[in-house]
Amino acid sequence: MTDNQTSPPVTVTLTSGPAGAGTIDDFELFYARRALDRFRTRLGRQGLLDLLAEDIEEGNAFLRESALASEGRFKAGTTVLTTQGLSSAAFLAWMDKAFAGDEKALLAAHPEHYVMGTDDIGARVVENIGPHVADFYMGGWGTDEMAWAEDADELLPESEYPRKMSSNLFLTDGTIVGRALIQFGDTTDGFIANLTVYFPVTCPDDVLDHHLRHYAVEFRNWIVAAAAAQA
């Protein structure tokens, strides 16, 4: 073999054995989720916060420094999901109920969800922002602080996307480290979710791209959970 030749990739195919459908990747995902749920349950909310305290301090410092360096300027990216078999109203009703007290359902949607729920400040989220673990809050649509959303380039027509939610992402000291604008429009057999996130312009592009992937994973899983709850 000459220097400029490469070996063909190794492939492994499941030929027989397990009962029921599924690929090896499907099996691995099931076991990974089961293991993750076990660790989350054993540690509990405060145990997870204690375990991640150093990571959170570093992650929040990164976002705070990025926000200060960006001087209120943000860059945006959007993930679009198309759903069949469930209305946006049914999905958002499930989300409201989950944020009101079903933290386990919220956490299950993504491996890098650590804490989620609502307290006196707002909706608290501890999750990865790119490679950084952050502890932040989200506000709600319709407040004075959300005026930016009314002029956002990503704002879609009310007639097509009547259900909208926007928020600032802010640290406990009040520093705004991001924004979110999510918009839902019903179709004949489901709905379209238009999910936009904003980060300070000095954040690396891969931080934004990873959150677009994060959106895809968590919202897909939340939608599937909402549909299962209706069945």
CATH of the domain at 206: 3.30.530.20
Residue 113, pLDDT above cutoff 70:
yes
Residue 38, pLDDT above cutoff 70:
yes
**What mean pLDDT value characterizes the chain?**
94
pLDDT of residue 195: 98
CA dist 195 and 181 (Å) reads: 6
Q: Residue 94: inside a domain, yes or no?
A: yes
pLDDT of residue 83: 98
pLDDT band at residue 120 using 50, 70 and 90 as cut-offs? confident
How far is Cα of residue 46 from the mean position of the Cα atoms in its chain? 21
pLDDT band at residue 141 using 50, 70 and 90 as cut-offs? low
Q: Residue 28: inside a domain, yes or no?
A: no
Secondary structure E strands in 35-147:
74-84, 113-118, 123-129, 132-138
Residue showing tokens 């945006």: 76
Q: Residue 222: inside a domain, yes or no?
A: yes
pLDDT of residue 166: 94
Q: Phi, psi (5° rounding) for residue 180?
A: -140, 140
pLDDT of residue 3: 63
pLDDT of residue 78: 98
pLDDT of residue 2: 57
pLDDT of residue 54: 98
Q: What is the span of the domain harbouring residue 217?
A: 52-230
Instruction: Please tell me whether residue 33 adopts helix, strand or coil conformation.
Output: helix
Domain count within the chain: 1
Q: Residue 30: inside a domain, yes or no?
A: no
Q: Residue 101: inside a domain, yes or no?
A: yes
Residue 142, pLDDT above cutoff 70:
no
Q: Residue 92: inside a domain, yes or no?
A: yes
| Cβ atoms < 10 Å from Cβ of 66 | 21
CA dist 78 and 196 (Å) reads: 4
Q: Residue 36: inside a domain, yes or no?
A: no
Element housing 192 (H / E): strand 190-200
CA dist 95 and 218 (Å) reads: 12
The answer to whether 192 and 81 are in contact (CB under 8 A) is yes
Instruction: Please tell me whether residue 217 adopts helix, strand or coil conformation.
Output: helix
Q: Residue 158: inside a domain, yes or no?
A: yes
Q: Which of 173, 172, 170 is nearest to 200 (CA)?
A: 170
